[in-house]
Amino acid sequence: MRVLVTGATGFLGRHLLPELAERHEVVALARRPVDGIETVVADLAGDFPVPDGLDAVVHLAQSRRYREWPEGAADVYAVNVNATFRLLGRAERFVLASTGGVYAPSSDPLDEDAPLAPTGFYPRSKLAAELLAGPYGAVILRPFFIYGPGQEGMLIASLATRVQAGDEVVVQGDPGIRITPIHVSDAVRAVVAAVELGRPATVNVAGAEAIALTELVQLLAELDGRDPRIRHAEDAGGDLVADIRRMRQLLGVTPAVSLRDGLAGVLAR
């Protein structure tokens, strides 16, 4: 298949491309050229061309301004909603990277039919993209806290940086919310399987181990050979723990990287 990947130079995209290129003809759509891969250089926040002759689109791109509210709202909308609409219908298969943040937090594991209640502009824009993609028979993936070596700025990468620097880590609540992080290599396997699935689906993409934020910081500190410095603040709300039965059954993906091993790899970067 000829597969277009947006966000190809992002954290997930750059891990995905070599795996996908072993099985398919890959075209990258990114802000800069990708070595060894046919690339359409464009920013999805503006006007962009879409190559012809595509069999599948994998829409991973996200706005660089997703943390800027309200100044970055137009950019987030352009990438998450408008670009999704422009890409839909350009190939028989469409894989959309949404987010586990579309769910209402809960003390129970969240399956794909759990109530949706995104609270910020970014997850709401992802839900809007899901609603657009549904009638086109898309595979909608809802990742939960992808992490791995070389990542910057996201939750686990930021916690690891603070722990290694010996800085105090502030955790909302005690022990904080529980999450199910997934190593980027396992997330890549899920995306490849989604491309090849050939039918509509909505699937959580998450790890098999639930961990509270306090426990996560403690494990990072243990792996780095230091004592954790944690301060607890006001409780931040419910958990985001994914039920991954559908990922296992439909995509055939069971997380292979344990949280301990994955975090050790992050610290070793």
Model pLDDT for residues 144-177, shown as the tens digit of each residue: 999 999 999 999 999 999 999 999 999 999 999 9
Model pLDDT for residues 245-260, shown as the tens digit of each residue: 999 999 999 999 999 9
**Percent over 70 (pLDDT), the chain:** 99
Q: Residue 260, CB half-sphere, CA atoms under 13 Å: how many?
A: 2
Q: Is residue 168 part of a domain?
A: no
Model pLDDT for residues 63-81, shown as the tens digit of each residue: 888 888 899 999 999 999 9
| One-letter amino acid of 99 | T
Q: Is residue 101 part of a domain?
A: yes
Residues 6+ apart with CB under 8 A from 16: 5, 8, 58, 60, 188, 191, 192
Tell me what pLDDT residue 135 has. 97
Q: Give SS3 for 142.
A: strand
Q: Is residue 104 part of a domain?
A: yes
Q: Is residue 102 part of a domain?
A: yes
pLDDT at 269 over 80: no
**Cβ–Cβ < 8 Å for 163, 228:** yes
Give the confidence band of 193 by pLDDT, cuts at 50, 70, 90. very high
Give the confidence band of 203 by pLDDT, cuts at 50, 70, 90. very high
Q: Is residue 261 part of a domain?
A: no
Tell me what pLDDT residue 237 has. 77
pLDDT at 235 over 90: no
Tell me what pLDDT residue 69 has. 87
Q: How many domains is the chain partitioned into structurally?
A: 1
Model pLDDT for residues 37-67, shown as the tens digit of each residue: 999 999 999 999 999 999 999 999 988 888 8
* pTM, rounded to two decimals: 0.96
Element (H, E) at 202: strand 201-205
Task: Report the CATH number at residue 249.
Answer: 3.40.50.720
Q: Is residue 227 part of a domain?
A: no
Q: d(Cα 178, Cα 215) in Å, to the nearest integer?
A: 9
Tell me what pLDDT residue 212 has. 97
Tell me what pLDDT residue 6 has. 98
Provide the domain limits for residue 116: 2-148+181-206+242-255
Tell me what pLDDT residue 265 has. 97
Tell me what pLDDT residue 242 has. 98
Q: d(Cα 132, Cα 226) in Å, to the nearest integer?
A: 48
Q: d(Cα 170, Cα 71) in Å, to the nearest integer?
A: 26
Q: What is the mean pLDDT of the chain?
A: 96
pLDDT at 236 over 90: no
Q: Is residue 266 part of a domain?
A: no
Q: Is residue 164 part of a domain?
A: no
